[in-house]
Amino acid sequence: MTATLDTPTAQSDTAAAVTLSGVRKSFGHGAHAVTALDGVDLRVAPGEFVCLLGASGCGKSTLLNLVAGLDQPTAGSIELTTSRPAVMFQEAALMPWLTAARNVELPLRLAGLKRGPRRAKASELLSLVRLAEAGGKRPHELSGGMRQRVALARALASTLGSAEDGTPGLLLMDEPFAALDAITRDVLQAELVRVWRETSTAILFVTHDVREAVRLGQRVVLLSSRPGRVVREWSTAGVGGAADEAELISDVTAHLREVISGHAAA
Amino acid sequence: MPQPDTVDNDLAAVGAGLDALDAPPGEQRASPGKRFLRTALPPIIAFALLIGVWQALWALAFWPEYQLPAPAAVWAAVTEAVRSGRAFEVLWTSVHRAVLGFLTAVVIATPLGLLIAKVRVVRAAIGSLLTGLQSLPSVAWVPAGILWFGATPATIYFVVLMGSVPSIANGLVSGVDQIPPLLPRVGQALGAGKLAAARHILLPAALPGYLAGLKQGWAFSWRSLMAAEIIATSPQLGEGLGQYLHNGASLNDISMVIAAIFLILLVGVGIELLVFRPLERAVLRARGLTGALQ
């Protein structure tokens, strides 16, 4: 069965990894201002896996940048319980002059960790993404999937580096697998779910792929485009077999198409 | 339904297979003999051909001896200068000036380049001026230098700095400009402050461009030094390579002039091969930018 949540803030009594209320973001001034996001309310519980779905131009990436603190909202508030969310982009964006292990160490180094614990933590995280052997390699010696896994380890290191007190982390992912081939993406999606279970970080995952969103997320949130608003959300909790999944996928796809075709008329 | 454990193991196997298939193959290094054949032999042959043509032209006697000397006569001038120790004095005078001037230029140009690259007002104010200065032949500064500082080493260093500072600063600016915009954002997301970002992301990311600027800056300081030494001659300045060349011209000794040019080239090529080429190779190889290397 698929369940549709009527109220986006259904779990309002529990603590949240991040809470967005009435978030609005416009770029530019006056008549030329473009509103990317308008009145977005969203709550991600600790350890929850939320997929943010939308067509291009819906401000998904803008939303992640706001949560990551790379940008400031025009109005509304964003409350984080974690000290600093980790971010993973569509490109691995590893520093090309550092080895894989040094890349993972970088956020720990920036957080002022000593070399010994830094090394230990980095090799632990590399084994978590099954790259224990590749620590000494440079990014150009790795495949696209391996680079993205190093980026995942690095992102995890940045949450751990800032939250040594044990507060659960928050991982923001901006279409991290969009540039990978189908088989690699398949493997990485499963790896991500495994890592998520092992680390119990909350994940806010942006994608335009309905199948990916339904497969990964506990909740799928659909954003409208220009300006981005939360249109509707689904829980994948009741989804058991392939038939259920297919049904949910077609339901979400139908809504996504509706949102997109609304723009043709306007 | 399969057990989660086996699914996990299957996945690991598929993942490992993908890693093995997708990872780019390691680069293959040729044997030392082959490398020698490929890199050292062509310039040696080119040099030999040049000498051969020169020798032939001289033998045909198209030009009088005082315009085109025999290769052997030039070689004699070089060996004579080396035997008497004059070559080393002259080389030392010039090379230590160039190195000192170059290092001073690095110290001035590096913060200047960073300022221009990162502070918009500074870039708007002096960015184009610096690019303009780069195309101004530094010989043009020699007369002004002589009027301001007299025929002293200060003039020489002034000309060297005017020649190399713009190149180095511009190299750093273009190095910073060519950093993929995602990298500083990643740095910010990983929690780097302004200074930490400069130290851990900006400077290392700009290193290839900076290195290119340094290389050009060295070439310009060597060039400027020669220009200054050829034009500004006085007992105070001692005898550098430029003065040696100037003396050759005054004595109508074409062998000495060509010997001087040969020595000037030798220093240029030597520094390039001994300092900049290995540095550049190390930096580019570490980043997988081996296209231009062999």
What b/e sequence results for B209-246 when a residue is b if at least 16 CB atoms lie within 10 Å of its CB, and e otherwise?
bbbbbbbbbbbbbbbbbbbbbbbbbeeebebbbbbbbb
Helix axes B254-271, B86-118, angle to 10 degrees: 50
Residues A32-77 have pLDDT tens digits of 777 777 878 888 888 888 888 877 766 777 888 888 877 878 887 7
Is A163 part of a structural domain of the chain?
yes
pLDDT exceeds 90 at position A121? no
DSSP collapsed to 3 states, chain A = CCEEECCCCCCCCCCCCEEEEEEEEEECCHHHCEEEEEEEEEEECCCCEEEEECCCCCCHHHHHHHHHCCCCCCEEEEEECCCCCEEECCCCCCCCCCCHHHHHHHHHHHCCCCHHHHHHHHHHHHHHCCCHHHCCCCHHHCCHHHHHHHHHHHHHHHHHHHCCCCCCCEEEEECCCCCCCHHHHHHHHHHHHHHHHHHCCEEEEEECCHHHHHHHCCEEEEECCCCECEEEEEECCCCCCHHHHHHHHHHHHHHHHHHHHHHHHC
B251: CATH? 1.10.3720.10
CATH number of the structural domain spanning residue A67: 3.40.50.300
With beta carbons less than 8 A apart as the criterion, state whether A206 and A175 touch. yes
Beta carbons within 10 angstroms of residue B153's beta carbon: 16
Residues of A in contact with B13 (CB under 8 A): none
User: Which chain A residue has the Cα nearest residue B206?
Assistant: A97
Sheet strand arrangement including A219-223: A3-5, A230-235, A219-223, A49-53, A202-207, A170-174, A86-88
Q: In sequence order, what are the beta bridge partners of A43? A: A19
Instruction: Name the residue facing A145 among B22, B186, B288 (closest C-beta).
Output: B22
Number of domains making up chain A: 2
Give the full edge-to-edge strand order of the sheet including A18-27: A34-44, A18-27, A75-80
Residues A122 and A243 in one domain: no
Mean pLDDT, residues A176-201 taken together: 82
Looking at the fold, whether A236 and A130 belong to one and the same domain comes out as: no
Domain assignment present for B148: yes
Question: How much is the CA Rg of chain A, to the nearest whole Å?
Answer: 19
Confidence of residue B2 (pLDDT cuts 50, 70, 90): very low
Q: Considering the domain boundaries, does residue B198 fall inside one?
A: yes
Of B12, B192, B287, the CB nearest to A96: B287
* Closest residue by Cα to residue A105 from A61, A47, A160, A51: A160
Cα–chain center distance at A68: 10
What pLDDT does residue B99 have? 92
Distance in angstroms (rounded) separating the CA atoms of residues B105 and B178: 23
Residue B240 lies in a domain: yes
Nearest Cα of chain A lies from the Cα of B204 at a distance, in angstroms, of 7
Can you give the pLDDT at residue A14?
57
Contact (CB, 8 A) for A95 and B189: no
pLDDT score, position B101 = 93
Residue type for position A86: A
pLDDT at A1: 43
pLDDT value of position A178: 81
Assess if residue A10 is contained within a domain. no
The answer on A235 and A104 residing in a single domain is no
Whether pLDDT at A166 is above 60? no
- Is B242 part of any domain? yes
Examine the domain organization and report whether A156 and A216 are in the same domain: no
CA distance B29 to B292: 15
Among the residue ranges A92-101, A129-138, B118-127, the one predicted with the least confidence is: A129-138
Stronger pLDDT, B129 or A29, i.e. the higher one: B129
**What percentage of chain A reaches a pLDDT higher than 90?**
0
Whether A152 is covered by a domain: the verdict is yes
Which amino acid type is present at position A153? A
Q: Which of A166-170, B136-140, B238-242, B243-247 has the lowest mean pLDDT?
A: A166-170
Across the interface, of A106, A134, A140, the residue whose CB is closest to B24 is A140
Nearest to A97 among B182, B185, B204 (CB): B204
- Position A29 in a domain: yes
CA A16 → CA A20, A49, A77, distances in Å? 10, 12, 14
Task: Identify the CA nearest to B280 among candidates B214, B203, B219, B222.
Answer: B214
Does some domain include residue B52? no
B24 contact residues in A (CB cutoff 8 A): 140-143
Helix, strand, coil tally for chain B in percent (to 5): 80, 0, 20
Which pLDDT value is given to residue A7? 43
Task: Quote the distance between the C-alpha of residue A205 and its chain's center.
Answer: 3
Interface of chain B toward chain A, CB-CB under 8 angstroms: 8, 11-12, 14-16, 18-19, 21-24, 26, 180, 182-183, 185-192, 196, 200-201, 204-205, 207, 283, 286-288
Q: Which of the listed residues A167, A194, A218 is the one where a domain comes to its end? A: A167
The domain total for chain B is 1
Q: Identify whether A18 is part of a domain.
A: no
CA pair distance B98, B88, nearest whole angstrom:
15
Question: Pairing state of beta strands A34-44 and A49-53?
Answer: unpaired
Give domain status of residue B17, yes or no: no
Peptide bond between residue B4 and the one before it cis (omega within 30 degrees of 0): no
Question: How far is the C-alpha of A155 from the C-alpha of A32, rounded, in Å?
Answer: 36
A10-21 average pLDDT score: 64
Instruction: Judge whether A15 lies within some domain.
Output: no
In this structure, are residues A39 and A22 in contact, taking their beta carbons and an 8 Å threshold? yes
Q: Is the pLDDT of residue A234 over 70?
A: yes
> Are both A162 and A217 inside the same structural domain?
no
Note whether residue A3 is domain-resident. Answer: no
Domain that holds residue B224: 92-287
Answer yes or no: is pLDDT of A13 > 70. Answer: no
C-alpha closest to that of B262 among B103, B45, B73, B93: B73
Q: Which domain holds residue A150?
A: 92-167
Q: What is the Cα–Cα distance from B177 to B123, expressed in whole angstroms? A: 12
Same domain, A49 and A149: no
Same domain, A265 and A208: yes
Which residues 6+ apart lie within 8 Å of B20 measured at CB?
A: none
Q: How confident is the model over B182-195, as pLDDT tens digits? A: 888 888 888 777 78
| Residue B133: inside a domain | yes
Calpha distance A179→A45 (Å, rounded):
28
Check whether residue A260 and residue A133 sit in a common domain: no
Residues of A whose CB is below 8 A from B183: 93, 95
Question: pLDDT averaged over chain B?
Answer: 85
CA A156 → CA A51, A84, A88, A170, distances in Å? Answer: 18, 11, 9, 9
What is the nearest CA distance from A223 to chain B, expressed in angstroms?
24
Q: Please report whether residue A13 resides in a domain.
A: no
Q: Assess whether A129 and A107 both reside in one domain.
A: yes
B58 lies in a domain? no
> In the A/B pair of chains, how many CB contacts fall below 8 A?
93
Whether residue A266 sits in one domain with residue A211: yes
Q: Are A65 and A176 in a shared domain?
A: yes
**Sign (positive or negative) of CA dihedral B171, B177, B182, B186:** positive
